[in-house]
Amino acid sequence: MKATVSDTIAIALKDLGVDIITHVPGFGGSEAFESYKKINFKTPPISFHEEVAYTICHGASIVGKRSACFIKAQGIAKAANSVVDSLYTSVTAGFVTFIFDDNVGNHSDNIMETEALLKGLSLPYIIADTITIYDDVITAFHKSEKVNLPVAIIINAAEIFNETEFEQQSFRKNFIYERDILQHVVHPLFAQYQYDVFKSKKNGNLNSEIKKPKLIQVPDEIPERSKDAVKRYQQFFNIFQNFKGDIVTGDTSSSSSYALPPYDAIDIVTYIGGSIPLAIGAYLAGNRYTWAMTGDFGFIAAGHLGLLEASLRQIPLKVVIFNNKQAAATGGQPIHRTTLYKILAGYENYIRNISNPEDPFEVTEILDEATQADELRIIIVNY
């Protein structure tokens, strides 16, 4: 079969059964994205920020759906916060980021040293060749699934319209997600273990026996320096256990300690602000009852970028914002009380407030209303 590089990428994704794809416009990626829509008869929307686009795919891959992110080389630098945390998780299905490299600067504001950046991030990657692009795409997904890590494939954007020949085959596969917070929750308690696992994968030792840390009980066994910050959320999570649903995502912050037993209330956690795009990915992968937990600092810093995408995609996520009016995870730096509401001004119809998180009746009423709603809900828990 003969086709352009653009169409060949789309055909390979179809043969792999990749149904979840994100894209931030840029030369090379935009052409491949249009080919994907044409060949797969799908109309996914564009994304506005690479960190969000990358994280959506990461969330989908963790819960068992192959995913692909199309971005420019400059975009992987914007997504780096999410990229780094994703390396300390294990994906269930393949996740490949297609980096379209404008290495002569005809369509970019600068020429990136893409390989140097990927090496610095420690993101596994392969370099595609026009002649073998179909096989390269297949190889990238199989590599991701072999090492259980995200993988990047670098494509010369200038060759996007070149023609290539290949033999088409089917590579579809089903994957089963199993909750495992040591593999899916990035948390200071697990940092050394997850780093050791990552180093082992990076060195090609995929079956090494690394001693797993003990899962402590929350909140009683939380280290003293963090215990007060964690305990303030206990009453909320006492009630939330009854509303959990399919998948709950969180940020690397105090509230995500409730991923631990006996609550087991949160399933996937990465960077501060990442819970909403992770939840979008889980939702697109088929989990229709998905919650995202974030703090006001994390939401203001990055989470609002994901909320915009959820809104544009009309995804009925349930978002919980713990409104502490401070950066609780980093020392308690104050946040002006109006900042959160300025960002949420366009979402007033979807907001519900919990004025007293210690009142089980109020918490239950608000969570129940959100559960029954068939549209976006943003629950602000005021502390």
Q: Give per-residue pLDDT as tens, 241-295.
A: 999 999 999 999 999 999 999 999 999 999 999 999 999 999 999 999 999 999 9
CATH level 2 (architecture), domain 181-382? 3-Layer(aba) Sandwich (3.40)
Task: Choose between 107 and 308: higher pLDDT.
Answer: 308
CATH class of domain segment(s) 2-165: alpha beta
Secondary structure class of 347 (helix, strand, coil): helix
Contacts of 248 (CB under 8 A, 6+ apart): 265, 266, 267, 268, 290, 291, 292, 293
Residue 52 near residue 306, CB atoms below 8 Å: yes
Q: Which of 82-96, 125-139, 169-183, 191-205 has the lowest mean pLDDT?
A: 191-205
Q: What is the tens place of the pLDDT at every residue in 45-64?
A: 999 999 999 999 999 999 99
pLDDT at 195 > cutoff 90: yes
Residue 334 near residue 326, CB atoms below 8 Å: yes
How is the chain split into domains, by residue range?
2-165, 181-382
Q: Which of 116-130, 157-171, 319-333 has the lowest mean pLDDT?
A: 319-333
pLDDT given for residue 327 in this prediction = 66
pLDDT given for residue 356 in this prediction = 97
Whole-number average pLDDT of the chain:
95
pLDDT given for residue 333 in this prediction = 77
Shared fold status for 2-165 and 181-382: yes
pLDDT (mean) for 121-136:
97
Secondary structure class of 119 (helix, strand, coil): helix
pLDDT given for residue 203 in this prediction = 86
Residue 193 near residue 213, CB atoms below 8 Å: yes
> How distant is the alpha carbon of residue 195 from its chain centre?
19
Residue 299 near residue 255, CB atoms below 8 Å: no
pLDDT at 105 > cutoff 80: no
Q: Which of 50-59, 117-126, 144-153, 225-234 has the lowest mean pLDDT?
A: 225-234
pLDDT given for residue 329 in this prediction = 67
Residue 161 near residue 5, CB atoms below 8 Å: yes
**Continuous H helices in the chain:** 5-16, 29-40, 50-62, 73-78, 80-86, 114-121, 133-147, 181-184, 191-202, 224-231, 234-240, 275-284, 296-298, 304-312, 339-343, 360-372
Cβ neighbours, 10 Å, residue 231: 15
Provide DSSP, 41-73: T--PPP-S-HHHHHHHHHHHHHTT--EEEEEEH
Contacts of 230 (CB under 8 A, 6+ apart): 218, 219, 222, 254, 255, 257, 258
pTM of the model as a whole: 0.96
Q: What is the tens place of the pLDDT at every residue in 4-13?
A: 999 999 999 9
Contacts of 45 (CB under 8 A, 6+ apart): 312, 313
Distances (CA, A) of 175 to 63, 137, 215: 8, 19, 26
Q: What is the tens place of the pLDDT at every residue in 150-188?
A: 999 999 999 999 999 999 999 999 999 999 999 999 999
